[in-house]
Chain A
Amino acid sequence: MSLTQPGPGSSTLVTVFESARAELEAESLRGAGGRTALERYADRVDAMLRQLFAEVAPADLHVAVMALGGYGRRHLCLQSDIDLLILFGGRIGTDEERFVRRFLHPLWDLGVVVGHQVRELDDFNRLETDNPEFLLALIDARPVAGARALFDGFSAKFHTPATHAYILKALLELIDQRHAAFNDTLYQLEPDVKDAPGGLRDLTATRTIALLTDPLLLRRGPADPARFDQAEDFLLRVRSTLHLDAGRNQNILSHEMQERTADLLGYPGAEPRQRVERLMSDYFRHARIVSRALAWARKTAPIPVGPNLGLSRDGIRFLDPIAAARNPTSWIGAFQAAIDNGCEVAEETLSCIQQHVDRFRADDFFPEERDRAALLGLLKPRQGLYARLSEMHDCGLLGRVFPEFQAISWRVVRDFYHKYTVDEHTLLTIRNLERIAHTDEPLRLRFRNVIESIARPELLVLALLLHDVGKWRDDDHASESERMAREVLDRLHMTGEAREMVLFLIRHHLRMSLVAFRRDTEDPEIVKDFSAFIGTEERLKMLCLMTLADVEAVSPGTLTPWKEELLWRLYVDTYNHLTQRYGDDLIERNQAGLDELLRQRPDDLSSEEITRFLEGLPQRYLQLFQPDAIYRHVRLARNIHPDEVHLSLECSDGIWTLVVATLDKPFLFSNICGVLASFGMDIIRGHALTNPNGLVLDVFSFIDEERFLTLNPDAHAQVLHVLEDVVSGRADVTTLLRGREQGVLRASSRFAPVVRADNEASGRYTILDIVASNALGLLYRISRVISRHGCDVDLVLIATEGEKAIDVFHITKGGSKLTEAEQQGLTSDLLRTLEGLQ
């Protein structure tokens, strides 16, 4: 088809279009180019486009034509652009391009100014943030021709809370910019009826704000909605006269045009000046109504903050309370949004929940995995958590989500210490934790640091929430709380380590205060026993914070600085015991606790095999790993020969875990760390264990920041292959790292590294405590220095807290602890290496 020739059927198009324009011109000339006339004109244009579409669109083409902006709102003025979106269901190819030409060319030939955008439906999978005007025009999108399903598909993708929030923000910025161009006043002698403050754009913006936030907003506004509509009709009638006279998209009501418009709109008066004054006083009156409505909407409109949730002046509200009442899974989101935005949940919303909450059972609030994750997410100890949980409790939601908690509502337990009902005591423990998490008090910063080092503090909050639910009974509340907590965890589908952690904390929530305040913690045996009981640093951290928060919630005076000090000292001593002395306590053949592990073993493992594997590993190993992991380790360590390495690599929640079983040799640990660094892997946690027979079991958790393992299909095999080569001596790790040396092994540091050697803590090992800025390859560098000094790396604990790497090495040289001189040589060498990294 020629680009200049009119397309098929264009002669009738001309007739349709010309007669539609003639009609609007006639109306405008009568001063009646208001809303009704413009809507009729838009309808006529719709009909014309549909006719054209029917003529040029192949039947099998998946396409829709949509009206945007003013045309979408059916306020199409005489000289306005006809804004269209041509939307294709699939990829745009030759057929699609041909359709676009065949559809647009006849319109251009008619002299229609078309503002067209062409998109594929999938383009709306992500928000186009570089063109806010286009996004605003899409708000008014209306299907004109083509596949209705495509329009629905677009609506589903486009109308999301996130998009709405973005558009609202962009709209408010555009309004400010536009008003600034008019010196922020509507009282212009020659106003632009479209762009000036109080003009048509402000009117549309007001409606858009309501649409995006609260559709009923304008009904509650300062002006009668009818007056708002009258203002609109007036402004449109004026604009129609301007378009009629100028013959182009001209919107300035100039002095010259004021006389003409006043005449066309039929203002009485003997003199032109009188007619103009009447017109202009009407203009300012209407513009003021628009302006005030916009100001009010900006001030009052809730900001969309989630599905069906808005942030208004009185807090988080359901935008559509009727829909919310039917959908209890959305309620938790209201409280989360309040925490995120540092505000309350509005009274109206709480009443809505209170009114409907009794219709639902616990499961109704979190039927899906993401709902359960959202509930746990809510429990992170952020500012406002206590206040939100209290609101949930007051409106009856907390007791529905956790019926177990309802059992202690207003429960009074008479003793000499407690000052509050059990439910309030419980919520106060959470408030205390929240306060510690944000404290700046010098003496409490140490506890704040502990909170910040916990991987999943929400588990601690869940444990606090449930720790006293067993107090509905009068005796032995801890075990009753644990029993009830199991039911909660079942409903939450919580399994594995997380479940064990919560139950452990609840069952033993009184234990640490007993030891700290009632036992002689200067006695190393007491600390040793407590360490054996607690097992891991993570449990210790959680139980310490739980104790602090719990004691403080008993009454205002219960937690004295004196008690805090006792608790902190037990924490430090136990922490040191766990990280520095565990190498002295090895698993023996008749170790307590082994029976259970042996009894539940899978068929392919014999008792003998498991015992042989475990014997001589630190006892701590049994507490660090769940039985399933231990069985996997036993299998991995089967039939290992010198120079062989058995590996497993798995990913869960974005964290990769590498397990290495092999026989010990010099530089082994450093070589493995070096290989991981050479692939850009950032090691965040780990344990290196050795048994007396030379079996090495290393478990590394690392983050694959460059997504090497995810993006490359054979990366998994490649990493394992290189590890085998390096461990067996077929490849050299320094060569692998050469390319990375420059960029990788450098970190920006905000604190000086600490290296400390200690021969006292452990009976067998010299303990090296290293705290330094985390960096890719850090462990490789450290362990290489250690190996170069001829030391054996027997046990390693690897931890990371934010930017900080905390590594504890248990080392020996020739089977003995290092001498004073050897320690000094090693630590100064290590410090040099670490300082060189900065």
Chain B
Amino acid sequence: MKLIKCIIRPNKVDEVKDALARLNIAGMTVTEVRGHGKQKGHTAIYRGKEYNVSLLPKMEVEVVVPDNLTDDVVKAVVQAARTGEIGDGRVFVLPVLESYRIRTGEKES
């Protein structure tokens, strides 16, 4: 199992969700986050005065998928969230050691 953690533009959440749904991935966690990567924010100017926008609003989408689906999911997310501009985000893939369903206590494989 892999945890796939995607940091994407806020307006791309729906498209990513749809893309994941097409791969029959139903469960996911979506969080509003703020951060910056290479983009490092930019300086906005309002009424002659600079104000720094160092942390940009992003969305984080997390899904846990079987190993054999990992590549497809990553591809789907990249395709759906991409604009080609700076600030499109990142996808991280992490190993998941174990997973339990809380309601039943049963271990998932």
> Which of A130-138, A263-271, A564-572, A676-684 forms contacts with chain B?
A564-572
Q: Which residues of chain A are near B45, meaning CB under 8 Å?
A: 576, 756, 758, 769
Minimum C-beta distance from A801 to chain B (A): 10
Tell me if B37 is interfacial: C-beta within 8 Å of chain A. no
Please tell me if the beta carbons of B48 and A562 are within 8 angstroms of each other in the complex. no
Q: Which residues of chain A are near B10, meaning CB under 8 Å?
A: 517-518, 566
Q: Which residues of chain A are near B34, meaning CB under 8 Å?
A: 562, 565
Please tell me if the beta carbons of B48 and A565 are within 8 angstroms of each other in the complex. no
Q: Which residues of chain B are near A565, meaning CB under 8 Å?
A: 34, 57
Tell me if B108 is interfacial: C-beta within 8 Å of chain A. no
Tell me if A14 is interfacial: C-beta within 8 Å of chain B. no
- CB-based nearest A residue for B33: A562
Tell me if A771 is interfacial: C-beta within 8 Å of chain B. yes
Please tell me if the beta carbons of A754 and B49 are within 8 angstroms of each other in the complex. yes
Please tell me if the beta carbons of B48 and A569 are within 8 angstroms of each other in the complex. no
Please tell me if the beta carbons of B11 and A562 are within 8 angstroms of each other in the complex. no
Q: Which residues of chain B are near A575, meaning CB under 8 Å?
A: 46
Q: Which residues of chain A are near B33, meaning CB under 8 Å?
A: 562
Question: Beta-carbon contacts of A556-582 to B below 8 Å, as 1s and 0s?
Answer: 000010110110010011011000000
Please tell me if the beta carbons of B47 and A771 are within 8 angstroms of each other in the complex. yes
Tell me if B106 is interfacial: C-beta within 8 Å of chain A. no
Q: Which residues of chain B are near A518, meaning CB under 8 Å?
A: 10-11, 14
Question: Beta-carbon contacts of A513-548 to B below 8 Å, as 1s and 0s?
Answer: 000011111110000000000000000000000000
In the complex, which of the residues B9, B12, B46, B83 contacts A576, with contact meaning CB atoms closer than 8 Å? B46
- CB-based nearest B residue for A521: B11
Looking at B34, B48, B83, B85, the one whose CB has the most chain A CB atoms below 10 A away is: B48
- Given contacts A522-B87, A562-B34, A566-B10, is CB(A573)–CB(B44) below 8 Å? yes
Please tell me if the beta carbons of A770 and B32 are within 8 angstroms of each other in the complex. no
Tell me if A489 is interfacial: C-beta within 8 Å of chain B. no
Tell me if A47 is interfacial: C-beta within 8 Å of chain B. no
Q: Which residues of chain B are near A280, meaning CB under 8 Å?
A: none
Q: What number of A residues sit within 8 Å (CB to CB) of B?
A: 25
Tell me if B53 is interfacial: C-beta within 8 Å of chain A. yes
Q: Which residues of chain A are near B87, meaning CB under 8 Å?
A: 522
Minimum C-beta distance from A822 to chain B (A): 19
Tell me if A376 is interfacial: C-beta within 8 Å of chain B. no
Q: Which residues of chain A are near B11, meaning CB under 8 Å?
A: 517-521
Tell me if A171 is interfacial: C-beta within 8 Å of chain B. no
Tell me if A343 is interfacial: C-beta within 8 Å of chain B. no
Please tell me if the beta carbons of A562 and B47 are within 8 angstroms of each other in the complex. no
Q: Which residues of chain A are near B53, meaning CB under 8 Å?
A: 569
Please tell me if the beta carbons of A806 and B47 are within 8 angstroms of each other in the complex. yes
Q: Which residues of chain B are near A771, meaning CB under 8 Å?
A: 47-49
Tell me if A755 is interfacial: C-beta within 8 Å of chain B. yes
Please tell me if the beta carbons of B32 and A560 are within 8 angstroms of each other in the complex. yes
Please tell me if the beta carbons of B83 and A520 are within 8 angstroms of each other in the complex. yes
Minimum C-beta distance from A514 to chain B (A): 10
Q: Which residues of chain B are near A576, meaning CB under 8 Å?
A: 44-46
- CB-based nearest B residue for A755: B48
In the complex, which of the residues A520, A521, A563 contacts B32, with contact meaning CB atoms closer than 8 Å? A563
Q: Which residues of chain B are near A519, meaning CB under 8 Å?
A: 11
Please tell me if the beta carbons of A569 and B47 are within 8 angstroms of each other in the complex. no
Report B78-102 residues with CB < 8 Å from chain A CB. Answer: 83, 85, 87
CA distance in complex: A756, B47 (Å):
9
- CB-based nearest A residue for B32: A562
- Given contacts A562-B57, A565-B57, is CB(A769)–CB(B44) below 8 Å? no
CA distance in complex: A576, B85 (Å):
22
CA distance in complex: A806, B46 (Å):
11
- CB-based nearest A residue for B87: A522
CA distance in complex: A218, B34 (Å):
66
CA distance in complex: A565, B33 (Å):
11
Minimum C-beta distance from B45 to chain A (A): 7
Please tell me if the beta carbons of B48 and A756 are within 8 angstroms of each other in the complex. yes
Minimum C-beta distance from B34 to chain A (A): 6
- CB-based nearest A residue for B9: A520
CA distance in complex: A520, B10 (Å):
8
Q: Which residues of chain A are near B14, meaning CB under 8 Å?
A: 518
Looking at B45, B46, B47, B57, the one whose CB has the most chain A CB atoms below 10 A away is: B47
CA distance in complex: A758, B9 (Å):
29
Minimum C-beta distance from A667 to chain B (A): 24
Minimum C-beta distance from B12 to chain A (A): 8
CA distance in complex: A522, B10 (Å):
11
- CB-based nearest B residue for A761: B45
Please tell me if the beta carbons of A754 and B9 are within 8 angstroms of each other in the complex. no
Question: Beta-carbon contacts of A717-757 to B below 8 Å, as 1s and 0s?
Answer: 00000000000000000000000000000000000001110
Q: Which residues of chain A are near B46, meaning CB under 8 Å?
A: 572, 575-576
CA distance in complex: A758, B47 (Å):
12
Report B2-56 residues with CB < 8 Å from chain A CB. Answer: 9-12, 14, 32-34, 44-49, 51, 53
CA distance in complex: A562, B35 (Å):
11
CA distance in complex: A770, B49 (Å):
10
Please tell me if the beta carbons of A754 and B48 are within 8 angstroms of each other in the complex. yes
CA distance in complex: A770, B83 (Å):
36
Please tell me if the beta carbons of A572 and B44 are within 8 angstroms of each other in the complex. yes
Q: Which residues of chain A are near B51, meaning CB under 8 Å?
A: 572
Minimum C-beta distance from B101 to chain A (A): 25
Please tell me if the beta carbons of B9 and A769 are within 8 angstroms of each other in the complex. no
Please tell me if the beta carbons of B57 and A566 are within 8 angstroms of each other in the complex. yes
Q: Which residues of chain B are near A758, meaning CB under 8 Å?
A: 45
CA distance in complex: A566, B32 (Å):
11
CA distance in complex: A563, B32 (Å):
9
Report A757-780 residues with CB < 8 Å from chain B CB. Answer: 758, 769-771
In the complex, which of the residues A560, A566, A769 contacts B47, with contact meaning CB atoms closer than 8 Å? A769
Please tell me if the beta carbons of B32 and A569 are within 8 angstroms of each other in the complex. no
Q: Which residues of chain B are near A521, meaning CB under 8 Å?
A: 11
Please tell me if the beta carbons of B48 and A770 are within 8 angstroms of each other in the complex. yes
Question: Beta-carbon contacts of A105-123 to B below 8 Å, as 1s and 0s?
Answer: 0000000000000000000
- CB-based nearest B residue for A520: B11
- CB-based nearest B residue for A453: B47
Minimum C-beta distance from A734 to chain B (A): 28
Looking at B9, B11, B53, the one whose CB has the most chain A CB atoms below 10 A away is: B11
Minimum C-beta distance from B51 to chain A (A): 8
In the complex, which of the residues A569, A754, A756 contacts B44, with contact meaning CB atoms closer than 8 Å? A569
- CB-based nearest B residue for A758: B45
- CB-based nearest B residue for A769: B48
Minimum C-beta distance from A353 to chain B (A): 45
CA distance in complex: A622, B109 (Å):
65
Q: Which residues of chain B are near A563, meaning CB under 8 Å?
A: 32, 57
- CB-based nearest B residue for A756: B48
CA distance in complex: A518, B33 (Å):
15
Given A518-B10, A756-B45, output 8 extra A-B contacts at Cβ < 8 Å.
A562-B32, A562-B34, A562-B57, A569-B53, A572-B46, A754-B48, A754-B49, A806-B48
Q: Could you write out 22 A-B pairs with CB less than 8 Å apart?
A: A518-B10, A519-B11, A520-B11, A520-B12, A520-B83, A521-B11, A523-B83, A523-B85, A562-B33, A563-B57, A569-B57, A572-B46, A572-B51, A573-B44, A575-B46, A576-B44, A576-B45, A756-B45, A756-B48, A771-B47, A771-B48, A806-B48
Ranked nearest first, the 4 interchain pairs of A and B with the lowest CB-CB distance are A754-B48, A769-B48, A562-B32, A756-B48
Residues of A near any B CB (own CB < 8 A)? 517-523, 560, 562-563, 565-566, 569, 572-573, 575-576, 754-756, 758, 769-771, 806
Residues of B near any A CB (own CB < 8 A)? 9-12, 14, 32-34, 44-49, 51, 53, 57, 83, 85, 87
